[in-house]
Structure 1
Amino acid sequence: MTPRPSPAAPARPPIAPLPVPLTGVVPPVCTPLTPEREVDVASLTRLVDHLLAAGVDALFVLGSSSEAAYLTDRQSKLVVETVVAHAAGQVPVLAGAIDMTTPRVLDHLAYVTGAGADAVVVTAPFYTRTHPAEIARHYRVIADRSPVPVLAYDIPVAVHTGLDPELVLELAAEGTLAGLKDSSGDLAGFRAIVTGVRSSPEITGFSVLTGSELIVDAALALGADGAVPGLANVDPEGYVRLDRLCRAGDWEAARAEQDRLCALYGMVGVGDPARMGTSSSGLGAFKAALHLRGVIDCPATAEPQVPLSEGETERVGKYLAAAGLR
């Protein structure tokens, strides 16, 4: 008997070249969950549609707002596959490859690029104390193995190590890094990187992105290329409008829009600090807002985060109403 041929494996989505530099609004996409804490694929695709309809410039999955630290590898892979397939090349998809050490990051790198991510976003190593030379080695090894551009993610509140601006510029000049998502809170350091990129002829196509919701207008005025604000899940139109106003040089209107978004960002503090941490409150508020806006089916956050109470959720609704979103 002639053996039946095995069914062909599904083709991996093509990996598109990343715009050089990447500019505009790049929401760090939340990960909707079911009440059983599994990835809610239907809600995730609606969230992608919500963001694309607003005119965002790229999508970033498996970052802090995606609850990447809480997801299993199986769930993380599903998130990347779902978003890449649903975005279908309309915008680039960046994926976090975030873990404690270089070998573990390389494992993440394999499945996120295999799923079609257009670039990877990588923090410094954490858990063990690292020297700047080890951080540099970490990024060089990853870039050497990566089929897509590598962006650094500076988030010292999570990894307990800040990225030195001189090191970032060195890695940019040698082509190891294609960009930076800066969530350091160090505006002076951020400015040093923006200035260094602008004044260094050997650095080309390097994207400098702020991770702050609150100073996007200031960052763009300094010369940043774009923003990766978690609140853009809730109000992507607002951040796209802010970005376009800044690029048009209408700084007065941009300041007014930034002020509105800053007021909306107050929702991240609705959670009672006596019973929950800032992550539970902030991510819980984003998901509650998306649920109230009809984008996702369930506002659940990953374990062991504490859910918002009914009263706290009502306060989120008041922030939406004040911002003109309900």
Structure 2
Amino acid sequence: MTLPSPLTGVVPPVCTPLTPDNEVDVASLERLVDHLLDGGVDGLFVLGSSSEAAYLPDGHRKVVVDRVVRYVGGQVPVLAGAIDMTALRVLDHVRAAADAGADGVVVTAPFYTRTHPAEVARHFRLVADRGALPVFAYDLPVSVHTKLDADLVLDLAAEGVLAGLKDSSGDDGGLRRVVLGAHARALPSFAVLTGSELTVDSALAMGADGVVPGLGNVDPHGYVRLYRAALAGDWARARAEQERLCALYRMVAVGDPLRMGASSSGLGAFKAALHLRGVIDCPLTAVPQVPLSGAETEQVGKHLAAAGLL
């Protein structure tokens, strides 16, 4: 389908259901897509952080993009993460996404290598020039150790290099600079999307175009209600929905930090919630992440029940 310009609304980063032997569970993936579309989402983002893209071999990535694009059949736009260390490796993923029929790609700054802002800019220009798909910059300094500068993002947007920004930096001031700068420079086709589950109402109030919430896998209806309330200017309803989702988000901390990292806990909680809700068959996270215990999964269930989802 033609990518909306700008892309707006709720675009969840789709979890990747796995079988017990760490293969892609295609049937569960399709049920998850149905669950998200039934929730009224405006697009899908496969192979992002919540999709466990960093853990998936290229063969798994290809299966995910191919099957989701085919299954969605143009009902909503599908963005694909093309996340890798440097430009030529990223371009391999962009070509695979284009071959599958994805509508755009999401790309971080280079990582592992030590990069200069000039190299970051060149990276995005090369991907946009050679990749033949709209490029959304993914600001994720916690993982790639480079914070995308607001002026750099806006310059690349003005050049037509970037179609949008997914801001998962945690820097609300930087997000505000991008939003205000996009308005000041008259960049109406450039989408600014927050990746924070917890501050969607404030991001939308400052002028962001939408949200890419990992928790949206678990409760797409809630994020769609939040977005639509904000769009209608009903900020009291938007705030109430945001506060309910903030309480639900506490599930990401159920894992014991003495035996697992934040990714195992957070992604494990999302998948446990989807399993408890009957959406996916297996809550397994990709190796070497540590699975939740029975007691930790029970805590996820309590969060779901408190939010009216179980």
* Smaller-chain TM-score bracket: over 0.9
* 8 A Cα contact 2:94 2:133, kept in partner: no
Partner secondary structure for residue 113 of structure 1: helix
Counterpart of 1:284 (choices 268, 271, 277) is 268
Q: Which residue is 1:270 aligned to?
A: 254
Structure 1 residue ranges, 4+ long, deviating more than 2 angstroms after superposition: none
Q: Which residue is 2:236 aligned to?
A: 252
Output one character per residue of 1:133-152: Cα deviation in whole Å (capped at 9) or x when no partner.
00000000000012220000
Q: CA deviation at 1:284?
A: 0.0
Identity over the aligned pairs, expressed in percent? Answer: 73
Partner secondary structure for residue 176 of structure 1: coil
TM-score normalised by L of structure 1: 0.95
Partner secondary structure for residue 94 of structure 1: strand
Q: Which residue is 1:67 aligned to?
A: 52
Partner secondary structure for residue 240 of structure 2: helix
Output one character per residue of 1:169-228: Cα deviation in whole Å (capped at 9) or x when no partner.
000001000000000000000000000001113x23000000000000000000000000
Q: Which residue is 1:10 aligned to?
A: none
Q: Distance in 2 between matches of 1:204 and 1:173?
A: 10
1:209 aligns with 2:193: yes
The letter for the 2-side match of 1:165 is: A
Question: Any residues of structure 2 matched to 1:61-100 within 5 Å, and which?
Answer: 61-100=46-85
* 8 A Cα contact 2:12 2:217, kept in partner: yes
Counterpart of 1:261 (choices 233, 245, 270) is 245
The letter for the 2-side match of 1:268 is: V
Counterpart of 2:134 (choices 149, 165, 169) is 149
Question: Any residues of structure 2 matched to 1:34-73 within 5 Å, and which?
Answer: 34-73=19-58
The letter for the 1-side match of 2:198 is: L
Q: CA deviation at 1:238?
A: 0.2
1:26 aligns with 2:15: no
Which deviates more from structure 2 when the two are superposed, residues 105-114 or residues 88-97? Answer: 105-114
Counterpart of 1:241 (choices 225, 237, 243) is 225
Output one character per residue of 1:18-39: Cα deviation in whole Å (capped at 9) or x when no partner.
1000000000000000000100
- Choose 1 or 2 for highest CA Rg: 1
Q: CA deviation at 1:17?
A: 1.8
Partner secondary structure for residue 60 of structure 1: strand
1:139 aligns with 2:129: no
Q: CA deviation at 1:124?
A: 0.2
Two-structure CA RMSD over aligned residues (Å)? 0.5
Q: Which residue is 2:300 aligned to?
A: 316
* 8 A Cα contact 2:138 2:165, kept in partner: yes
Partner secondary structure for residue 258 of structure 1: helix
Which stretches in structure 2 are left out of the alignment for 5+ residues?
Answer: none
Q: Distance in 2 between matches of 1:39 and 1:322?
A: 31
The letter for the 1-side match of 2:213 is: P
Q: Distance in 2 between matches of 1:265 and 1:31?
A: 19
Output one character per residue of 1:60-84: Cα deviation in whole Å (capped at 9) or x when no partner.
0000000000001000000001100
Q: CA deviation at 1:113?
A: 1.0
The letter for the 2-side match of 1:61 is: V
The letter for the 2-side match of 1:238 is: G
Q: Distance in 1 between matches of 2:50 and 2:99?
A: 22
Counterpart of 1:296 (choices 264, 272, 280) is 280
Q: Distance in 2 between matches of 1:64 and 1:151?
A: 14
* 8 A Cα contact 2:5 2:189, kept in partner: yes
Partner secondary structure for residue 208 of structure 1: strand
Q: Which residue is 1:104 aligned to?
A: 89
Q: Which residue is 1:219 aligned to?
A: 203
Q: Which residue is 2:167 aligned to?
A: 182
Size of the alignment, in residue pairs?
A: 310
